[in-house]
């Protein structure tokens, strides 16, 4: 039995080592009779790792019994051509034999290379000094938009490349079958976590869950693919995936218009040229520029009066600066290798040359050629269903509670959280969800602040520069949380619920809400929120709502100080939020850790009937615990008045 569990552990290590890219063959006397029902734990383990036992004849025959105890397992059964059990032997076991094909399907390439800009030793101030002393001002002597942009790139990239070089690194290729989904991956992670912790009870639960999910996902995938596709060719593709694979290779040469091509790049370019010109060949595009321009002019004039004209308005440097400072640093880098983070950092220096580039393009009616190409990548935008549904419906649930209409806002918040969680638990599409979501909500009603929270997102207010805490994190190690967890049948290990979840309250996470003898607010993990009520005073300046990606890096007071000093400098709230995330963002997230988590920030300013200028003056006052946090110089190198 110990040998069998050793083999299961070996399979686990194979999976973590990218099992799908390797052909694995296991053989030997396993002493498990496959002619009778083999043990459930063994077949589950094999199915979980997609191994097949290929021998189907008895391997040990006596006067009293006939058993199949000598096995051959593989994760690539399609690579076996012939399987035999010759009834000749020098012992009481027959040999088991397979013939492997000489031509088999190749695994996809395991790795690929990417280029990235290395910010590990990037010195922002040194970069800005070099950029400020460069020849960027010479761009204004170039009147041609294309030449001016080329000169800008040459000067800017020379400085940038000297401070943050472009490097190449190898990235592992992760191939996954079509039926592998996020739910299966999450279940695998939990299964492996319990296995590593030697928690065999929970390990078996999640091992069986993974097996069940794999079976269901495969079945649903192929049933849906065949049922919903009426094209025989596409149906055959799905059937072919289940059959042994034949060898596939790209053509070594092609002949096009009498020309034979053998170079791989030339072949690819010719295919690209062919498909690019398809519309031209079919006559789908009208290339009569005069006709097209006339249509545009007629349309524009139809929207204007006879005495009106239309032209693009030139932009000013201040607008360009604000746009640069408002860039999202998390957006991708374009083909010019200059990312939004760098543009944002260098905004005070490059806003003038960029303003010039835009305006000469407008004056000449020319859009620079280098800006006509872009990288377009589809990005998966949805997260776990629980988080998506909660974000869309939690506030609606709260204000629809009868207590809200009665003016009892704290109770409306509590019942709103529980009502939403119960609704998701009863929903057929979400009740088996393995994921959960933290949530913090703030309601301003009259002169009151009401804050409800589950999890470790957090809200704080600034009262004359001092923190007023509106929520507290729910951690399993807290005494009150630990008592509830244990009373509901759970335990706390390594400051985690059942050694797994780092939070003790959350929406979703329904696997921890299975105790039928306990009400929702007393489950191992509950969606019952803490609600804190505060009165708004003339000294209230702003409040901040953020997830743990911020609070793991900065303390409450550090965040308040960070925001307050920027309001005092008349910085826009939207830009302050961007600056706060940039402050907490790690320069390199390859190893995980602080600054690599999701980040969400909401800043609410209390104007209290005044203007934003009034608030900047309030934030310039000495705080209740010390001097006002003024900067020695404006944040961008010039005054923002």
State how far the Cα of 432 lies from the Cα of 508, in Å rounded to an integer.
Answer: 9
* 230 Cβ contact list (under 8 Å, min separation 6): none
Among 191-200, 361-370, 618-627, top mean pLDDT goes to 361-370
Q: At what angle do helices 145-163 and 124-132 cross, to 10 degrees?
A: 140
State how far the Cα of 585 lies from the Cα of 597, in Å rounded to an integer.
Answer: 8
Question: Mean pLDDT across the chain, nearest whole number?
Answer: 80
**637 falls within a domain:** yes
Mean pLDDT is lowest, of 26-40, 420-434, 519-533, 596-610, for 420-434
Give me the residues paired with residue 113 across strands.
Answer: 170
Query: Residue 416: its pLDDT value, please?
Result: 92
> In this structure, are 54 and 15 located in the same domain?
yes
Looking at the chain, the whole-number percentage of residues with pLDDT higher than 70 is 77
> pLDDT band for position 444 (50/70/90)?
very high
Is a pLDDT exceeding 60 seen at residue 628? Answer: no
Encode pLDDT of 229-282 as tens digits.
655 556 666 666 655 555 555 667 888 778 888 888 888 788 777 666 655 554
> In this structure, are 492 and 626 located in the same domain?
no
CA distances from 217 to 209, 363, 386, 436, 550 (A): 12, 58, 20, 21, 37
Query: Residue 167: its pLDDT value, please?
Result: 86
Is a pLDDT exceeding 90 seen at residue 188? Answer: no
- Greater confidence, 88 or 156? 156
> In this structure, are 611 and 633 located in the same domain?
yes
The answer to whether the CB of 492 falls within 8 A of the CB of 482 is yes
Of the candidates 203, 173, 177, the one whose C-alpha atom is nearest the C-alpha of residue 188 is 203
> In this structure, are 577 and 557 located in the same domain?
yes
Q: Rg of the chain over CA atoms, in angstroms?
A: 32
**378 falls within a domain:** no
> In this structure, are 57 and 137 located in the same domain?
no
- Greater confidence, 540 or 2? 540
Query: Residue 230: its pLDDT value, please?
Result: 57
> In this structure, are 452 and 554 located in the same domain?
no
Encode pLDDT of 529-587 as tens digits.
999 999 999 999 999 999 888 888 888 999 999 999 999 988 889 889 988 888 887 65
Of the candidates 577, 559, 565, 553, the one whose C-alpha atom is nearest the C-alpha of residue 616 is 565
The answer to whether the CB of 174 falls within 8 A of the CB of 185 is no
* SS3 state of residue 543: strand
> In this structure, are 167 and 203 located in the same domain?
no
> In this structure, are 440 and 510 located in the same domain?
yes
**590 falls within a domain:** yes
State how far the Cα of 540 lies from the Cα of 444, in Å rounded to an integer.
Answer: 13
**525 falls within a domain:** yes
Is a pLDDT exceeding 50 seen at residue 599? Answer: yes
- Give the number of C-alpha atoms closer than 13 A to the C-alpha of residue 227, restricted to the C-beta side: 6
Is a pLDDT exceeding 60 seen at residue 172? Answer: no
> pLDDT band for position 591 (50/70/90)?
very low
Query: Is the Cα dihedral 539, 541, 547, 549 positive or negative?
Result: negative
The answer to whether the CB of 514 falls within 8 A of the CB of 439 is no
Q: How many domains does the chain have?
A: 5
State how far the Cα of 294 lies from the Cα of 296, in Å rounded to an integer.
Answer: 5
> In this structure, are 392 and 528 located in the same domain?
yes
Query: Is the Cα dihedral 231, 232, 233, 239 positive or negative?
Result: positive
> In this structure, are 153 and 48 located in the same domain?
no
**627 falls within a domain:** yes
Query: Residue 267: its pLDDT value, please?
Result: 83
Give me the mean pLDDT over the 603-623 stretch: 89
- Where do the H-state alpha helices sit in 464-505? 479-487
Encode pLDDT of 31-86 as tens digits.
888 888 788 777 767 766 677 888 988 898 888 888 999 999 887 887 887 888 98
State how far the Cα of 329 lies from the Cα of 331, in Å rounded to an integer.
Answer: 6
State how far the Cα of 490 lies from the Cα of 398, in Å rounded to an integer.
Answer: 29
The answer to whether the CB of 398 falls within 8 A of the CB of 443 is yes
Backbone angles phi, psi at 571, to 5 degrees: -75, 145
Query: Residue 222: its pLDDT value, please?
Result: 74
How many CB atoms are located within 10 Å of the residue 583 CB?
Answer: 14
Structure tokens at 208: 């069986």
- Give the number of C-alpha atoms closer than 13 A to the C-alpha of residue 284, restricted to the C-beta side: 7
> In this structure, are 336 and 419 located in the same domain?
no
The answer to whether the CB of 220 falls within 8 A of the CB of 184 is no
- Greater confidence, 605 or 176? 605
Is a pLDDT exceeding 90 seen at residue 430? Answer: no
The answer to whether the CB of 52 falls within 8 A of the CB of 73 is yes
State how far the Cα of 106 lies from the Cα of 50, in Å rounded to an integer.
Answer: 18
The answer to whether the CB of 20 falls within 8 A of the CB of 175 is yes
Give me the mean pLDDT over the 210-222 stretch: 83
Mean pLDDT is lowest, of 143-152, 322-331, 516-525, 592-601, for 592-601
- Where do the H-state alpha helices sit in 74-165? 124-132, 145-163
Give me the residues paired with residue 28 across strands.
Answer: 71
State how far the Cα of 185 lies from the Cα of 172, in Å rounded to an integer.
Answer: 17
Give me the mean pLDDT over the 313-335 stretch: 86
Query: Residue 237: its pLDDT value, please?
Result: 62
State how far the Cα of 430 lies from the Cα of 423, in Å rounded to an integer.
Answer: 9
Mean pLDDT is lowest, of 7-11, 441-445, 631-635, for 631-635
Q: Tokens 């709502």 label which residue?
A: 545
617's torsion region: left (phi>0), alpha (psi -120 to 50) or beta?
Answer: alpha
**22 falls within a domain:** yes
**502 falls within a domain:** yes
Give me the mean pLDDT over the 185-202 stretch: 82
CATH at 90: 3.60.10.10
Q: What's the distance, Cα to Cα, between the start and end of the chain in Å?
A: 77
Of the candidates 352, 321, 400, the one whose C-alpha atom is nearest the C-alpha of residue 635 is 321
- Greater confidence, 183 or 143? 143
Is a pLDDT exceeding 70 seen at residue 609? Answer: yes
> In this structure, are 481 and 513 located in the same domain?
yes
Encode pLDDT of 92-126 as tens digits.
888 999 988 765 555 555 556 777 888 888 999 99
Encode pLDDT of 476-509 as tens digits.
888 888 889 888 888 887 678 877 788 889 988 8
Of the candidates 71, 67, 13, the one whose C-alpha atom is nearest the C-alpha of residue 42 is 71
- Residues comprising the chain, all counted: 641
**Can you give the residue range of the structural domain that contains 634?**
538-641
Backbone angles phi, psi at 638, to 5 degrees: -155, 160
Is a pLDDT exceeding 60 seen at residue 155? Answer: yes
**301 falls within a domain:** no
* 213 Cβ contact list (under 8 Å, min separation 6): 183, 184, 187
On whether the pTM is more than 0.75, the answer is no
């Amino acid at each position: 039995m110990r040998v069998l569990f050793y083999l299961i552990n070996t399979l686990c290590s194979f999976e973590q080592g990218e099992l799908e890219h390797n052909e694995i063959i296991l053989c030997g006397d396993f002493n498990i009779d496959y002619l009778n029902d083999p043990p459930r734990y063994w077949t589950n383990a094999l199915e979980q790792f997609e191994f097949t036992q290929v021998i189907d004849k008895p391997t040990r025959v006596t006067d009293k019994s006939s058993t199949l105890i000598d096995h051959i397992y593989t994760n690539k059964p399609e690579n076996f051509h012939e399987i035999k059990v010759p009834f000749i032997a020098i012992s009481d076991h027959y040999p088991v034999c397979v013939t492997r094909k000489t031509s088999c399907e190749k695994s996809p390439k395991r790795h690929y290379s990417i280029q990235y800009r290395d910010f590990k030793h990037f010195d922002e101030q040194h970069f800005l000094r070099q950029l400020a002393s460069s020849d960027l001002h010479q761009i204004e002597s170039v009147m041609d938009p294309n030449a001016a942009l080329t000169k800008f790139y040459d000067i800017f990239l020379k400085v940038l490349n000297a401070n943050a070089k472009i490097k190449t690194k190898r990235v592992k290729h992760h191939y996954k079958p079509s039926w592998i989904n996020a739910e299966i991956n999450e279940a695998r992670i939990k299964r492996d976590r319990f296995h590593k912790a030697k928690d065999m009870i929970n390990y078996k639960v999640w091992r069986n869950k993974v097996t069940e999910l794999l079976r269901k996902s495969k079945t649903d995938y192929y049933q849906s693919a065949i049922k919903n596709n009426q094209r025989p060719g596409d149906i055959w593709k799905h059937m072919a995936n289940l059959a042994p694979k034949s060898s596939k290779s790209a053509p070594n040469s092609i002949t096009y218009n009498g020309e034979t091509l053998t170079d791989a790049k030339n072949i690819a370019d010719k295919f690209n040229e062919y498909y690019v010109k398809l519309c031209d060949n079919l006559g789908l595009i009208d290339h009569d520029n005069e006709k097209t321009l006339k249509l545009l002019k007629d349309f524009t004039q139809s929207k204007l009066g006879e005495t009106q004209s239309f032209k693009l308005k030139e932009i000013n440097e201040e607008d360009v600066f604000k746009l640069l400072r408002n860039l999202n640093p998390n957006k991708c880098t374009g083909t010019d290798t200059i990312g939004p983070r760098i543009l944002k950092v260098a905004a005070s220096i490059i806003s003038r040359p960029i303003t010039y580039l835009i305006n000469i393009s407008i004056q000449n009616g020319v859009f620079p050629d280098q800006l006509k190409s872009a990288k377009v990548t589809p990005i998966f935008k949805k997260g776990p269903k629980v988080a998506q549904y909660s974000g869309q419906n939690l506030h609606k649930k709260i204000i629809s509670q009868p207590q809200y209409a009665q003016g009892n806002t704290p109770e409306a918040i509590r019942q709103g959280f529980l009502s939403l969680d119960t609704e998701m638990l009863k929903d057929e599409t979400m009740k088996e969800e393995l994921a959960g979501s933290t949530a913090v909500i703030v309601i301003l009603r009259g002169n009151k602040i009401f804050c409800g929270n589950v999890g470790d997102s957090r809200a704080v207010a600034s009262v004359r520069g001092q923190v007023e805490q509106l929520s507290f994190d729910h951690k399993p190690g807290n005494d009150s949380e630990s008592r509830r967890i244990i009373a509901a049948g759970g335990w706390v290990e390594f400051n985690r619920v059942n050694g797994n979840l780092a939070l003790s309250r959350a929406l979703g996470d329904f696997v921890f809400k299975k105790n039928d003898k306990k009400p929702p607010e007393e489950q191992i993990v509950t969606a019952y929120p803490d609600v804190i009520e505060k009165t708004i005073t003339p000294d209230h300046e702003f409040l901040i709502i953020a997830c743990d990606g911020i609070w793991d890096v900065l303390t409450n007071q550090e965040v308040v100080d960070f925001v307050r000093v920027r309001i005092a400098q008349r910085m826009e709230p939207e830009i302050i939020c961007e600056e706060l995330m940039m402050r907490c963002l790690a320069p390199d997230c390859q190893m995980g850790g602080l600054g690599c988590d999701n980040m969400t920030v909401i800043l609410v300013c209390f104007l209290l009937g005044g203007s934003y200028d009034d608030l900047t003056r309030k934030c310039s006052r000495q705080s209740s615990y010390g001097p006002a946090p003024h900067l020695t110089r404006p944040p961008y190198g010039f005054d923002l008045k």
